[in-house]
Amino acid sequence: GDSVTQMEGPVTLSEEAFLTINCTYTATGYPSLFWYVQYPGEGLQLLLKATKADDKGSNKGFEATYRKETTSFHLEKGSVQVSDSAVYFCALSDRGSTLGRLYFGRGTQLTVWP
């Protein structure tokens, strides 16, 4: 079945460091891929998405490229800020399914120190 595996945390970085959070997926169809972010005490917000192979999603300095050959969707940011401290979730949806459910990874806690 469909599933997502993402890098386990926690990840701790200094401000302005480079961030990579790895995400790989297994899917039977042609998934769309997402990164969601959850700030402390809040629900999940969509950070970025990609709907087909080689698409790059980007938002707020974060980016991720849909790599079909490696079944990956790694999240990157060139220079993190303290305000990026949050939990990040990778997710996929099977576009061939009409039910619209998402499959989430377990989340990666990111802490950025000043």
Distance of closest approach, residue 114 Cβ to another protein, in angstroms: 25
Shortest gap between Cβ of 105 and another protein (angstroms)?
A: 6
Which lies closer to another protein via its Cβ, residue 63 or residue 105?
Answer: 105
| Nearest Cα residue to 21 out of 95, 101, 112 | 112
The residue ranges that bind another protein (CB under 8 A) are: 32, 34, 36, 42-46, 49, 51, 89, 93, 95, 98-102, 104-107
How many Å from the N-terminal Cα to the C-terminal Cα in the chain? Answer: 41
Q: Are 45 and 59 in contact (CB under 8 A)?
A: no
Cβ 38 to another protein, closest distance in Å? 8
DSSP 8-class letter at 81: -
